[in-house]
Amino acid sequence: MEPKNRLNEDVDQVNDTIARVRRRGGRLKDQQVTLAHGAGGKASASLLQHVFFDEYGNDLLAQGGDSTLMDLDLQGGKLAFSTDSYVVNPIEFPGGSIGELAINGTVNDLAVAGAVPKYISVAFILEEGLDIETLRRIVLRLKEASDKAGVAIATGDTKVVPKGKGDKLYITTAGVGVVPADRVPGFARVAPGDRLLVSGPIADHGMSVMMARGDLAIDAPIESDSREVASLVAALLDAVPDTRWMRDATRGGVATVMNELAETTGLGVVLEDEAIPVRPMTRAACDMLGIDPLYVANEGTFIAVVPEAQAEEALAAVQQAGAPEARLIGRIVEKPEACVVLVTAFGGTRMVDKLVGDPLPRIC
Amino acid sequence: MEPKNRLNEDVDQVNDTIARVRRRGGRLKDQQVTLAHGAGGKASASLLQHVFFDEYGNDLLAQGGDSTLMDLDLQGGKLAFSTDSYVVNPIEFPGGSIGELAINGTVNDLAVAGAVPKYISVAFILEEGLDIETLRRIVLRLKEASDKAGVAIATGDTKVVPKGKGDKLYITTAGVGVVPADRVPGFARVAPGDRLLVSGPIADHGMSVMMARGDLAIDAPIESDSREVASLVAALLDAVPDTRWMRDATRGGVATVMNELAETTGLGVVLEDEAIPVRPMTRAACDMLGIDPLYVANEGTFIAVVPEAQAEEALAAVQQAGAPEARLIGRIVEKPEACVVLVTAFGGTRMVDKLVGDPLPRIC
């Protein structure tokens, strides 16, 4: 690289930074969110422009108005539609924030339904008094997550509630995607003999959020697994189009998702304790708190049921697509009917029931 | 009607009621929302089944999972996508509740974009301690509103936040609809000479909510205008396909929407004070509180810009479709550029600026 080019680059960088600072600092005078920001007038417009549009403005949002119109080619497939509210506390934690969660959670719900995620809506409920800088950080992370997931922010909304009627901010996203006509995984396709694949170590998200709350006697550097899985799912479906069923193991963790699978299909699910990946730090934290990692929420980890004959192929595809810690963790059996069993390292077995209590509230 | 049939009807009614009471009362033991209802386990499933599905279960929701797949025929048109969070306080008020608002608001945003609303997602953020009976009532009203608007509840979510971190409940809906290829109103089509049509009396919603809060010195029986306007928009577009532009006058009221129109088009908007319908009770309440009805939110009232030559036809179509109090209230002019002017009964004029302060927070 020539010195001159280098200099130009530096100057460009400085100019970019100045423009950015000017754009950010110079226009929105408020340091905190006020009720006026939610009233639909000038203050609302200013917040919209100088926080949201500055970070993630695009052609779709530039349409203005309260609806966005877009092209969508279903090519004989189906429309997939999903929504989730995110109320995680704290809003920032090792490995992520409510911003990434709000994108990844909804994108992943679409992906595991066999859909290619296309568009997402983002609705904020802000608490009066929230720092604008915190909001900006969340919005930036949300934008980066949407870019990574290849999903376009198409429409949004902002409301403000009085101090004490919210908790910094809540985000609700809804996503639409397209399921190709030849790609509809579903409970009905699951059969005895099929294998279970998990895309990565479990329980990191829930334990990371627990640690970040700081109200426990222990502290461990655990990072959330928050990520989009659409790219992993695409690789899996390319390699093994006959993949039976997929689900991301969010609230209630792997145990709850497996119970849903067993209940709905009437088949048995056998999990091999030894095979289920859990990071040592996460396992240690779970042990100390008496929490079973099977029940802890994940935000970037999904379970797939794959045909036995293609199980290794499926595993290789997911590992190579960016999830090297994916594992085969169990299988579908005819009996015991409609329940989930864990086989331990010592050859013992125990039932894995659905989550009853509430060990970890507000995890997403 | 014969006595025997009458009797059978009565018996059927009693049976219906028993079934309903049994279904409602007999299964969900909790009287109030708890944090466990939001944790994704058994309690969540029970709330989902016995409150939400009992009221609005349908084939789409029965798919289970976190995404819903559906058929959609775009027929060469565009997909319309819209979202809004609803944080109105109180959650029930004369003429409506947060349940109807959450459906009508989003349906109307789609409708005024020229779309036929098809599917809607519904995400609840519940505050711990909320009465289950209150929730049921809201859910039922939401279901009734979706039936009226002809939109299917396709997917949803429920989160619970601790007491003091919410306010009974917040709802976020997202809607998808289809805009026929030949039906794309937009700012670009607005031209000097065009007339302005309002679909009904303004300011009822905001004033109704204000009254319902009960913290004012006055009290007046004002009902919200909350309703779907998709049927009105359909009638208008049938009668006058050349309708230029539409918008529902929600947060910030007619004044804010008209300012947006003026700013975006660079044209002037002239409103005739005398022609703008305001119910006497609403006007009296506004006068007493020193609030200009032009800035008060509506939830079932839209503004359309129509070609001058077909203005009367447009008005008749909307009136006959179920909005007898619709009126023509002004016109588009070349100058003054990019601003909104109100012509008073005495021939005076005054500028109508955008909303700056926040007279009515949490109105939707």
* Token reading at B122: 């519904």
Token pair 């944090």 is found at: B35
ipTM for this prediction: 0.89
| Cβ contact A172–B67 (<8 Å) | no
Is residue A6 very low, low, confident or very high in pLDDT (cuts 50, 70, 90)? very low
Report which of A362, A204, A333 is spatially closest to residue A258, judged by C-alpha positions.
A333
Interface contact B47, partner A, CB < 8 A:
no
- Distance between CA B68 and CA A81 in Å, rounded? 5
- Distance between CA B162 and CA A361 in Å, rounded? 9
Interface contact B215, partner A, CB < 8 A:
no
Digit-coded pLDDT (tens) for A84-98: 999 999 999 999 999
- Which chain A residues are Cβ-neighbours of B162 within 8 angstroms? 361-362
- Which chain B residues are Cβ-neighbours of A74 within 8 angstroms? 72, 74
- Which chain B residues are Cβ-neighbours of A162 within 8 angstroms? 361-362
Q: How many H-runs (helices) and E-runs (strands) does chain B carry? A: 10, 14
Percentage helix, strand, coil for chain B under 3-state DSSP, each rounded to 5: 40, 25, 40
| Cβ contact A82–B121 (<8 Å) | yes
| Cβ contact A78–B70 (<8 Å) | yes
- Write down all domains in chain A, each with its CATH number in brackets: 23-179 (3.30.1330.10), 187-351 (3.90.650.10)
State the distance between the two ends of chain B, measured CA to CA, in whole angstroms: 45
- For residue A68, give how far its alpha carbon lies from the nearest alpha carbon of chain B (Å): 5
Question: Digits of tens for pLDDT over chain B (364 positions)?
Answer: 333 333 344 445 545 544 554 444 446 778 999 988 887 777 888 888 888 888 888 889 988 788 999 889 888 899 999 999 999 999 999 999 999 999 999 999 999 999 999 999 999 999 999 999 999 999 999 999 999 999 999 999 999 999 999 999 999 999 999 999 887 777 889 999 999 999 999 999 999 999 998 877 777 889 999 999 999 999 999 999 999 999 999 988 999 999 999 999 999 999 999 999 999 999 999 999 889 999 999 999 999 999 999 999 999 999 999 999 999 999 999 999 999 999 998 989 999 998 776 667 788 8
Q: What are phi and psi of A131, to 5 degrees?
A: -65, 130
Cis ω before A280 (30° cut-off from 0)? no
Q: In A73-134, which ranges are E strands? A: 78-86, 92-93, 96-97, 116-127
Residues in chain B: 364
- Distance between CA B275 and CA B345 in Å, rounded? 9
State the distance between the two ends of chain A, measured CA to CA, in whole angstroms: 46
- Distance between CA B115 and CA B108 in Å, rounded? 9
